[in-house]
Amino acid sequence: MGDRSTGRSWFSVMLPAIPVLAVGLSACGSGAGSSGVPSATPSPLCAGVNTPPGHTNGVASVSGGASSLSGAGGTFVAPMMSIWSAAYNTSDHVQVAYQSVGSGAGIAQVQAATVDFGESDAFMTDSDIAKAKGPVVQTPLVQAPVVVAYNLPEITSGLHFDGETVGKIFAGQITTWNDPAIKKLNPNVNVPNLPIAVVHRSDGSGTTFIFSDFLTKESPTWVSALGGKDKSVGKTIAWPVGIGGKGNEGVSAAVGQNSGGIGYLELSYAVAQNLTYADVKNKAGSFIQPCVKTAANATAGITDYPPDLRIDVVDVSTDADAYPITGLTWALVYQKQTDAAKAAALVNFFNYVLTKGQDVAATADYTPLGADLQKLCVGQLRKITLNGTPVAA
């Protein structure tokens, strides 16, 4: 009896304490969402409004299109695809359902023909196409830069990095922030004496592909640490050091939570999460801040596009204002379509993306395609055929 009442009174005392404690703990914890540091001050190259390209060179609209399309592909372009989908539904009343499952999965679904179109940050190679049910038309849709973000609360300007230094950091050979190599590139910045906490992607990713491609081209240390060029580039890397974050949000969280953290992310993500990122040295020798304008410059000046547009644009441009770690992302469509309604809908949708869609890219921190490239991409649409005849006029 005495036992019962003791239990009950204990209970009524402790019970109110639980929600109070829970609220208290939540209030402490919820503040750690982002690094809370303002982004680096915009460089002159990035300041100012991004004028929409205003392309009008699209193909004529094809009638009889289906009212819905099914697509799957990388996460890199997912926010952009969402904006395009919603706008296209409003203007043309076609529901384009896109799911981000990863570039590799996008390619796999195209190979299995379970979706109408795929999307990938790495174009389909010949062996990929061999596993598909027919030839595939690939067209870049948009460009985007990969930034090197870090967590050093006192430093609000963009640190200067070159490819070799970044390569050494991610290979584990530079381990503190006040290393002479970093100091040499940033003589006017007081870099703290913190250990570097490297953060990379744990899941296979097009972002990793773009970043490792850059490191392979610029950092011999990176290549030898990984054991050769075939192992130092790819969607999956055997990272010698570092924390593996799942997805962009995992990398952002790990960088934000550890002082001295450094990681690579796509620009739109870094901007949304309010992270500070570095100015990276390009082929022309200038340190460039990543933004829509400098990423657009990354394809300026390239003239030798292959006819199937399968080109690697990472660290290629010699433009003085180009941000080097910029990549393309491709749409994947079967060339020989068999369903008239689907074929028409596909051509119409990607025509929209390549013309009016480019105008809204900058609002989401994605980079519209350069003018030369965009023209060639529209040309790719004309290659799509229905029972032998091209779908687009």
Partner 1 sequence: MSPASAGGIAAIERHPLPIALRGERRRLGDSVFGAAVALTGGVVLLVLAAMVVFLVLQGLPAMRHYGFFSSITSQRWAPSEASATLSTPNPYGIVQFIYGTVLTSLIGMVIAVPLAVGAALVITDVAPRRLRRPLSSLVDLLAAVPSVVYGFWGLFALIPAIRPVVDFITSTLGTVPVIGVPFGGPFFGVSYFTAGLVLAIMILPIIAAVCREVFRSTPRNEKEAAVALGATRWEMIRIAVLPRARSGIVGASLIGLGRAVGETIAVTMVIGNAVLHINPSIFDQGATMSSVIANEFTEATEPFHLESLFVVGFWLLIVALVVNMLARVVVRRGVSL
Partner 2 sequence: MTALLLVAVALALGALAWVLVYVGIRGFSVISPSFLTHNPPGNPAAPGGGFFNGIAGSLIVVGIATGIAVPLGVGAAIYVVEYGRGRLRGAIRFFNDVLIGIPTIVTGAFVYAVWVTRFGFSGFAGSIALAVVMLPLVARTTEEMLRLVPTELREGSLALGATRSQTVLRICLPTALPGIITGGMLAVARAMGETAPLLLTVLGNDLFTQLNPLHRMETLSLQIFSNAVTGYEQAQARGWAGALTLIAIVLILTAVARFFGRRVQVENV
CA dihedral for 200, 206, 211, 217, sign (positive or negative): positive
Q: Is 302 helix (H, G, I), strand (E, B) or coil?
A: coil
The site map against partner 2 for 302-341 (x = CB under 8 A) is ----------------------------------------
Looking at 50, 61, 82, 257, which residue binds partner 2 (CB under 8 A)? 82
The site map against partner 1 for 70-109 (x = CB under 8 A) is -------------------------------xxxxx-x--
The residue behind tokens 């990423």 is 295
118 makes contact with partner 1 (CB under 8 A):
no
Q: Is 285 helix (H, G, I), strand (E, B) or coil?
A: coil
The residue behind tokens 């829970």 is 22
Looking at 35, 43, 100, 326, which residue binds partner 2 (CB under 8 A)? 100
Residue 150 pairs in a beta bridge with 262, 276
49 makes contact with partner 2 (CB under 8 A):
no
337 binds, among partner 2, partner 1, none (CB under 5 to 8 A by kind): none
- C-beta of residue 255 within 8 angstroms of C-beta of residue 262: yes
Looking at 39, 70, 157, 257, which residue binds partner 2 (CB under 8 A)? 70
Token pair of 158, please?
Answer: 């963009």
50 makes contact with partner 2 (CB under 8 A):
no
Q: Give the separation between CA 305 and CA 100, rounded to whole angstroms.
A: 28
**CB-nearer residue toward partner 2: 245 or 327:** 245
**CB-nearer residue toward partner 1: 4 or 93:** 4
- C-beta of residue 256 within 8 angstroms of C-beta of residue 34: yes
Q: Is 327 helix (H, G, I), strand (E, B) or coil?
A: strand
257 binds, among partner 2, partner 1, none (CB under 5 to 8 A by kind): partner 1
216 makes contact with partner 2 (CB under 8 A):
no
- C-beta of residue 316 within 8 angstroms of C-beta of residue 302: yes
Q: Give the separation between CA 198 and CA 155, rounded to whole angstroms.
A: 18
DSSP H or E segment with residue 245: strand 243-245
47 binds, among partner 2, partner 1, none (CB under 5 to 8 A by kind): none
- C-beta of residue 191 within 8 angstroms of C-beta of residue 183: yes
Shortest distance in whole angstroms from residue 87 CB to partner 2: 6
236 makes contact with partner 2 (CB under 8 A):
no
Shortest distance in whole angstroms from residue 135 CB to partner 1: 20
**CB-nearer residue toward partner 1: 215 or 280:** 215
Task: Give the phi and the psi of residue 15 in degrees, each rounded to 5.
Answer: -60, -45
Catalog residues that contact partner 1 under the rule CB under 8 A. 3-4, 7-8, 11-12, 15, 25-26, 28-30, 32-33, 101-105, 107, 195, 197, 202-205, 226-227, 231, 234-240, 243-246, 250, 253-254, 257-258
